[in-house]
Each structure stands twice: as C-alpha cells, then as structure tokens.
Structure 1
Amino acid sequence: MRILAITNQKGGVGKTTTCVNLAASLAATKRKVLVIDLDPQGNATTGCGIDKSKMQHTIYHVLIGEKSLRDVMQRSERGRFDVVPANRELAGAEVELVNEFARETRLKSALAELGDAYDYVLIDCPPALNLTTVNALTAAHAVMIPMQCEYYALEGLSDLVNTIKKVRAHLNPHLEIEGLLRTLFDNRNTLAQQVSNELAQHFGDKVYRTVIPRNIRLAEAPSYGVPVLLHDKTSKGAKAYLALAGEIINRHVVSNRQVAAN
C-alpha cells in the first residue's frame, strides 16, 4: 500500500482536482484506491459524487477516535474507488485534539488497521499547515505537490519543503517528496515556462514529466460529481491524469525493483 499526501500550503493549485482525477485514473488501471478527504470544505467528497451534507460519520469521527476508516467509507460507484468523506465538522478536530495523546498519529494508526487492502491511498490535504495536515504527513510514505508555475508558487514551495523536513525530523523519518506536479499549465505563458524550467533544474527527476493543462472539462467535472475521466474521457485533462497515473505506477515498479536488488 502506497500512501500519498497531496498537499500545498497555497490554495487554488489543483490539489483536490488532482486527488479525485488521479484516483479515478489509477482505478481505471485496476488498482484498488482509497481517497481520504482531509479538508473541511469537503470538495474531494462532492467531486466524487458523495453528498457531504448527508454524512453522519466522516474522517472527523476517525480522528477523534469514535469510528474506524471502514466505518465511514463510502463508495464512488462511477469512479470505482472508495472515499472517506469530510465536511465542516472536521474543522472542530483541531480544537478537540489539541490536548490529546498522540494527536499527530491518529490517521497513521487508523490506516494501519487497513493492512494492504489498497494499492494506493490518496490524502487530499487542506491548504494550510495545521494538525490535520500534520496527520497526513505523518501517515504518508510520500508527498505529492501540485503547483502552478507562477512567481509566488516558488516562495510557497520553499516553506512546504521546510515543513516536510520538520515532519521527517520529528514524526516520520521515511517521508519523502514523491514529486512535483505542474498544474493549470498554459504553455503560451512565458512566465509559466520559466518557472517550469527552474523547477526542473532545481528538483530534477522529482518533477513529473506529465503536465496538467488548464482545461475546461477539468473545471466542469466537479459540478457533475464525477472525475473528468467520466465527464469527457477524450479531453486533454483526462488524458493528462491517465498519463500521470501511468508515470506513478512505473516509478513504483522501478523503485520496488531497486529495493529488491539491494
């Protein structure tokens, strides 16, 4: 089971879009996938076609110790993957957990109960460094960072890298950066090209080859409660996320071979 935290402290960079559409694309390759919505806005939940307002139990109840992940899971029937939903109740977890024992490892402990039931677990993090994000980083094997290629993105990226270093030092020594994903990309934009080149120079093969374009079908899909693959599988957005899924799977095959060889 590979656990990826999809995070960026900057909002509006395509975290939720990436989480939902990568999940559907991995599921299309017959992988077993679980999406965990860790954002009180619950956008990943609704993007998977689940009505967050009707959820009696969510990730909030898992973090405060009342329910297990299996207790609160929903099925995205059309996406063919499982979802742990979130709604505004999750915002209360910050306050309730502040004095609790092992508050940073609640999600890690909950995931341990699943064993190897899934090939991939994708965690959609809120656009902030708070206790829920720390739970995700503590539970994850690696971090995927979606980012727009604009000037301020580089500034925010250095903050996030420092945060990952702190979590690695104190809570999760094996945490690594899985990759940087260029999103909402417009190749006609000169600045976007420049920032993209800077990322490649600085992070090398940590930057995914796949680039997610600015695409109207990607923007429309959440309003229908489906991943873009089910909204318009011929769109550039759908093809890009299928390519990303393939790239991720290939990386892990190579990584596993290297581990076996050693």
Structure 2
Amino acid sequence: MKSARRRMVVILYGKGGVGKTTVCSHLAAQYAAGGRKVLLLGCDPKTDTSTRFLSGKKPPTMLDMVEGRFGRRFSELLTRTPSGVDIMETGGPEPGVGCGGRGVATLCQFLEEHPRELASYDVVLFDVLGDLVCGGFVAPLRFGKGNCVFIISSEEPASLFAANNIARMTRRPYYDAAAVGGIIFNLRHNDAPQGHLASFAKKIGVAVVGSVPRDPLIMEAEERGLTVQAHAPSSKAARQFAVLAKAVEAACRSKRSAKAAPMGNDEFWAFVRQHRIASL
C-alpha cells in the first residue's frame, strides 16, 4: 500500500570518490526494503549509481534520449530493479566532449515534464557529483527539487574542502529552498583521528547525521554488484545503514534543516592546520 507520508526528496552531494554513491544506493535499498516506492536518480557521467542493482547491465540514460536512442516517455527511461528501487541515470558525453552537468539539467527538465509519475514516489534520491565546478550539477536545487540536502565527506582535507564548498553553494540566494539536513561521514580509515569531524560540522553550522565506518563487507558487496543489505543482510554494516536511513529521514522531517555557515578558503585552511588534519 502506498505510504500516506509526504514525499521525501533528498539530494546527496560529495567530492568525487568519497563514497557518495555507496551511501545513496544503500539508503535507496533501505527505504525500498521498508515498503517505500523509491526513485534513485544518478547524476554522474560515469553512470555508476545503478551498479549495485543491475549486475553490470547498462540502463538507458538521458543522453540516450537526447541522441534519439530512446523516446521521452517516463517508462522508457526508467529501470526497475529486483530490489524495488527504480533508477534513472543522466549518462554523460565522451571525455573532452560536451558537458556532464548538462545531463543533470536535462534530467530535472524531464522530471518537470512528468509530474504525475514523479508524484507516485514516496522517496526520491539524487546522487550528485559534488565537486561543483559546473553549474549543471546544482540543477536539482535550481529546479526546486530538493527539500533536504546532505553532504557526504570523509575525514580528509580535500573531502572536507569540497564539503565546505557544497555548504557555500547552498548559501546562494537563488537556492533559497536548499536546506542542509546534515553531513554524513564515510570514513576512509577507521583508526584515523576523527576528533575534528564534529568540530568541522559545528564550524559550518550543520548537524552530523551519521558516520559509515569502512567495512570489508561493503567492498565485497560492491565487487558482486550488490548492496550490503542484499549481500549480508544480518551484518553490522547492513544494520548501520538502517540506522542511517532513519536518521536521514528524521532530519528531513524535522525543523533541524538550516542554512549552513561555511568558511572562507583562508579560514578553512587555518582550521586544517589548527586540527593537524592530514591526507592518509
């Protein structure tokens, strides 16, 4: 039976390679397992959001539509997965040709053209490349899609720098609807110093929603093209994503989402030096 709850639209941003797709995919799987109708939107030219659901099968993309390989019907570009997660991918041009961000803007326009289909979902998740060198990648905010933004970061300086830039992006006046629900730390090294993470979140004015420790089971699942919930449903890693999914939903439903207060570049690097944060 369809949930009577208000639709939850979540946008996840993070530096390339930080594990943003890992987090987003597992959240989608968790919500689907709980009986929600879930739409997962892959906004990366690598078209890798679907890898844990389709066992290597390539889904149709927005680029395929633009180039005439598929029509403009919602059903033609939607891929239904055995786990119950519906997926759309933007795709992207060949390296050095075209603009990856254009695909994200095309996806948002496509969703605007299909309000009835979009309204049928309980949860919509955008998995967005977060280095933010291109305005196209912030199209989900500009098109008014997101009611809650989450930042994915590791404990390392480059990732924190990108997280601070994402917080800075949400301060732009034309993204008035963008509220930061919090930051999720996807740890690269469980034994690395982590005391600075809470300080960083407090400094930029966002809540820590959760942390995902590095776990070999997550990597094993990825190698098999699965989520950890499908690969090892009784594992600690699977339980941690269940907890994280509840925390993300609570942050979206509550009044805690607020405008961030990002640091300037000089202030950020002073913070890094003060806390002796190093790449590992």
The count of corresponding residues between Structure 1 and Structure 2 is: 243
Matched, 1:82 2:86: yes
1:201 aligns with 2:202: yes
1:128 corresponds, among 103, 125, 131, to 131
2:177 equivalent among 161, 165, 174: 174
CA distance in 2, matches of 1:97, 1:88: 8
- Deviation sequence 1:160-218 (CA, Å, 0-9, x none): 2222222xx22x4211112100112544222xx1222313433566211x310101111
Aligned letter for 1:155? F
**Does 1:231 pair with 2:231?**
yes
| Cα 1:110/1:128, change in 2 over 3 Å | farther
Q: Of 185, 188, 192, which residue of structure 2 is paired with 1:189?
A: 192
SS state of the match for residue 155, structure 1? helix
Counterpart contact for 1:141–1:176, Cα < 8 Å: yes
> Does the C-alpha gap of structure 1 residues 89 and 222 become closer, same or farther in structure 2, counting only changes over 3 Å?
farther
Q: Is the 8 A contact 1:60 1:90 kept in 2?
A: no
Give the secondary structure class of the aligned counterpart of 1:145: strand
- Of 141, 144, 147, the residue aligned with 1:137 is 141
Q: Are 2:35 and 1:30 equivalent residues in the alignment?
A: yes
Taking only aligned residues, the RMSD between alpha carbons, in angstroms, comes to: 3.1
3-state secondary structure, aligned to 1:5:
strand
Query: What's the offset of the Cα at 1:253?
Result: 4.5
Q: Percent identity?
A: 24
Tell me which amino acid in the other structure corresponds to 2:140: A
Question: Which structure's residues are more often helix, by fraction?
Answer: 1
Match of 2:8 in 1: 2
Distance in structure 2 (CA, Å) of the matches to 1:189 and 1:44: 28
Distance change in 2, residues 1:163/1:62 (3 Å): farther
Which ranges in structure 1 are unaligned for 5 or more consecutive residues?
257-262
Deviations 1:75-134, CA, capped at 9 Å, x for gaps: 111x22111134444876638959xxx979525514634342111111111243224412
TM (norm. structure 1) is 0.79
Provide the TM-score with structure 2 as the length reference: 0.74
Instruction: Find 2:160's aligned residue among 148, 151, 154.
Output: 154
The 2-side partners of 1:51 and 1:188 are apart by 33
Unaligned 5+ runs, structure 2: 1-6, 257-280
Q: How does 1:52-91 map to 2 (within 5 A)?
A: 52-53=57-58, 55=59, 57-61=60-64, 67-77=72-82, 79-89=83-93
- Asked if structure 2 preserves the Cα contact closer than 8 Å seen for 1:62 and 1:69, the reply is no
Match of residue 109 from structure 1? 112
Compared CA separation, residues 95 and 204, structure 1 to 2 (3 A): closer
Q: Which amino acid aligns with 2:17?
A: G
Question: What are the residue-to-residue correspondences of 1:6-25 with 2, within 5 Å?
Answer: 6-8=12-14, 10-25=15-30
